Amino acid sequence: MASIEFSGKESAFELHTKVLPAQLRPVPELSYSSKQAGLAAPTILRRTEPAEHRIIEGDNLPVMAALVAEQPTRFDRIYLDPPYNSGNSVRGSWVYDDTGRSSVGSAQPESLATALENVPQDRRDRWLFQLTPRLLLARELLSETGMIFVSIAERELEFLALLMCEIFGADNRVAIMSIRSLHTVRNSSKGFSRNTEHVICYAKQLSALVQHDDRNTYLRVPSDKLYNYPYDDQDGKGPYRLDQLYARNHAKPYVYRFSDGREWQAPDGSFPRYSQRELQRLEAAGQIVWSRGEARVKRYLQNVAEGEPPSTFPAQHLSGFSKDGTAELRELFDGQRVFSQPKPLALMRYLLSIGRPCDNGNREQSILDCYGGSGTTMEAVMAMNAEDQGARTCTVIQKGGADSASPLNICRDVTRERVVRAAQKHGYVSSFSYFTT
Ligand SMILES: C[S@@+](CC[C@H](N)C(=O)[O-])C[C@H]1O[C@@H](n2cnc3c(N)ncnc32)[C@H](O)[C@@H]1O
């Protein structure tokens, strides 16, 4: 089997065993609860999230080591959006020391310091050196049916793919997705205008995740978007939306008389969506609602088809452009640019909605994002929980200090602040605990 070579590889593969787990210290004054913030849940987002999210300020290496030590924490999904080693001052910059020496904090054992003596000098090798222990810890942190997603640009794609193949095993590769991130063609490009990014996806153990003889374990994404189901009568039937009773082509035309005497027929040029018999059944089941003089039917999320296979090239409206992520963040920060190139919410929602029918819409997943950045993942999780009454929990790790892109403490002033602003703006009934190391 092909394997990747880089200088320092041997010691990179041992680093994670030498890291002293960080001490996670709660910071109550930076923690957040929508209850304390006095937020009443809007009528259509009624459910209180029972679970609590976590924002952890610190270098992800000792923090991940701490999570490994914190048995039985295991994550269903892990997302990594590391610096891309792109060479530009923003995306390519490591918050931690480029040499890797000071990246893991001062209280580390001598053996780690010795291992770090051999940090490679070559830029790419150093990048692979940094990622290796983090990927190895991520593997340990995955649940048996867990999946990891790593975002990457083309420049390091094959190197990262090989490294992940070595760490997770060729048999556990799920997919390499291509995401159209740039909405336009970059006319200044010397060669190709690179308008895609990639997401490499591995399973902890693909044979445990997807079983060939059980369709209930095949990977699917909802073919109807979850956020099309904004209502909930709290009657145990779950979220629903209101659909028209007609379609462009379906059942034979008829005139239907409801039990209150009102008559209905499909408007000119359209057809009844349901047969008369089905409409009768829907009426008897209390699923017909009159809204502004028009009859509509409650369509429950739990009754929609099991979904469709996720795509390695999702449609643009499903993954969003890079500019969408920028606009979403700017809007929350009153037009200010506080972080460069956050991921679009749509992309995170797409990745997190990939799952098996038997996992009930992934509604109880535990998610870890090791390079939190502007907190897109946690906002996406809160939004998804609000929409489908989920109890997903999200842990985000983000280094505290400033970097070349910003003089702010990214974790406090961007990650945390974004999540709080989003929760307040959208009325998410949610909470998180904040930790430092
Ligand atoms: C590419 S950005 C992630 C962007 C994020 N996905 C978003 O949507 O906003 C990478 C982030 O990882 C952080 N970072 C880099 N090295 C880190 C480390 N060793 N531990 C924790 N965070 C780190 C950087 O500060 C930066 O915010």
CATH number of the domain at 369, please: 3.40.50.150
Locate the ligand 1 atom nearest the alpha carbon of residue 79 and give its number. 6
Query: Residue 128 falls within a domain, yes or no?
Result: yes
Total of domains in the chain: 2
Pocket lining: 151 vs ligand 1, CB cutoff 6 Å? no
CB-CB neighbours of 303 under 10 Å: 10
Locate the ligand 1 atom nearest the alpha carbon of residue 339 and give its number. 9
**pLDDT over 80 at 200, yes or no:** yes
The tens digit of pLDDT for each residue in 178-191 reads: 999 999 898 999 99
Are 406 and 427 within one domain? Answer: yes
End position of a domain, from candidates 303, 331, 353? 303
**pLDDT over 90 at 250, yes or no:** no
How confident is residue 301, by pLDDT bands cut at 50, 70 and 90? confident
Q: What is the DSSP string of 120-144?
A: -SSHHHHHHHHHHHHHHHHHHHEEE
Pocket lining: 83 vs ligand 1, CB cutoff 6 Å? yes
Contact between residue 39 and residue 417 where contact means Cβ atoms under 8 Å apart:
no
Selected residue with higher pLDDT from 361 and 43: 361
Pocket lining: 376 vs ligand 1, CB cutoff 6 Å? yes
The confidence score (pLDDT) of residue 114 equals 73
Q: What is the DSSP string of 178-241?
A: EEE--SS--TT-SS----EEEEEEEES-HHHH--TT-GGGS-BB-SS-GGG--B--SSSS--EE
The tens digit of pLDDT for each residue in 123-147 reads: 899 999 999 999 999 999 999 999 9
Are 243 and 365 within one domain? Answer: no
Selected residue with higher pLDDT from 224 and 198: 198
How confident is residue 45, by pLDDT bands cut at 50, 70 and 90? very low
Enumerate residues 6+ apart whose C-beta is below 8 A from 376: 325, 328, 329, 342, 343, 344, 345, 348, 418
Atom 3 (ligand 1): residue with closest C-alpha?
373
Residue 326: what are its φ and ψ, rounded to 5°? -65, -45
The confidence score (pLDDT) of residue 323 equals 95
Answer left, alpha or beta for residue 345, where phi above 0 means left and psi between -120 and 50 means alpha.
alpha
Locate the ligand 1 atom nearest the alpha carbon of residue 369 and give its number. 6
Query: Residue 2 falls within a domain, yes or no?
Result: no
Kindly report whether the global pTM for this prediction surpasses the value 0.85. Answer: no
The confidence score (pLDDT) of residue 305 equals 61
Domain of residue 70 covers 9-223+306-436
Instruction: Give me the mean pLDDT over the 207-227 stretch.
Output: 84
Are 178 and 88 within one domain? Answer: yes
Pocket lining: 57 vs ligand 1, CB cutoff 6 Å? no
Are 155 and 14 within one domain? Answer: yes
Q: Which of 195, 160, 161 is nearest to 179 (CA)?
A: 195
Instruction: Give me the mean pLDDT over the 206-232 stretch.
Output: 84
Contact between residue 378 and residue 36 where contact means Cβ atoms under 8 Å apart:
no
End position of a domain, from candidates 288, 303, 318? 303
Are 285 and 353 within one domain? Answer: no
Please give the Cα distance from 244 to 310 (Å, whole number): 28
Are 210 and 233 within one domain? Answer: no
Are 274 and 409 within one domain? Answer: no
Selected residue with higher pLDDT from 160 and 241: 160
Instruction: Give me the mean pLDDT over the 109-127 stretch.
Output: 78
Instruction: Give me the mean pLDDT over the 203-218 stretch.
Output: 93
Pocket lining: 81 vs ligand 1, CB cutoff 6 Å? yes
Query: Which mutation among 54, 399, 421 tests ligand 1's pocket best, with the greatest number of atoms within 8 A of CB?
Result: 399
The confidence score (pLDDT) of residue 318 equals 93
Pocket lining: 229 vs ligand 1, CB cutoff 6 Å? no
How confident is residue 99, by pLDDT bands cut at 50, 70 and 90? very low
d(CA 185, ligand 1 centre) in Å: 27
Selected residue with higher pLDDT from 430 and 351: 351
Pocket lining: 371 vs ligand 1, CB cutoff 6 Å? yes
Return the percentage of the chain with pLDDT > 70, whole number: 88
**pLDDT over 50 at 112, yes or no:** yes
**pLDDT over 50 at 341, yes or no:** yes
Q: Does an H or E element contain 335, and which?
A: none
Contact between residue 392 and residue 52 where contact means Cβ atoms under 8 Å apart:
no
The tens digit of pLDDT for each residue in 367-414 reads: 999 999 999 999 999 999 998 888 999 999 999 977 666 678 999 999
Per the prediction, the chain carries an average pLDDT of 87
For helices 417-426 and 322-332, angle between their N-to-C axes, nearest 10 degrees: 80
The confidence score (pLDDT) of residue 91 equals 38
Are 207 and 327 within one domain? Answer: yes
Locate the ligand 1 atom nearest the alpha carbon of residue 130 and give its number. 19
**pLDDT over 80 at 102, yes or no:** no
Locate the ligand 1 atom nearest the alpha carbon of residue 403 and give its number. 25
Pocket lining: 103 vs ligand 1, CB cutoff 6 Å? yes
End position of a domain, from candidates 275, 303, 331? 303
Pocket lining: 139 vs ligand 1, CB cutoff 6 Å? no
Query: Which mutation among 56, 398, 414, 418 tests ligand 1's pocket best, with the greatest number of atoms within 8 A of CB?
Result: 398
Are 152 and 183 within one domain? Answer: yes
**pLDDT over 60 at 97, yes or no:** no
d(CA 318, ligand 1 centre) in Å: 23
Query: Residue 1 falls within a domain, yes or no?
Result: no
Query: Which mutation among 137, 151, 371 tests ligand 1's pocket best, with the greatest number of atoms within 8 A of CB?
Result: 371
Please give the Cα distance from 23 to 322 (Å, whole number): 35
Selected residue with higher pLDDT from 88 and 52: 52
Distances (CA, A) of 188 to 21, 46, 88, 185: 46, 49, 16, 9
**pLDDT over 70 at 106, yes or no:** no
**pLDDT over 90 at 432, yes or no:** yes
Enumerate residues 6+ apart whose C-beta is below 8 A from 20: 62, 65, 105, 107, 108, 109, 112
**pLDDT over 50 at 94, yes or no:** no
Pocket lining: 398 vs ligand 1, CB cutoff 6 Å? yes
Residue 425: what are its φ and ψ, rounded to 5°? -65, -45
Instruction: Give me the mean pLDDT over the 183-201 stretch.
Output: 93
Instruction: Give me the mean pLDDT over the 81-95 stretch.
Output: 60
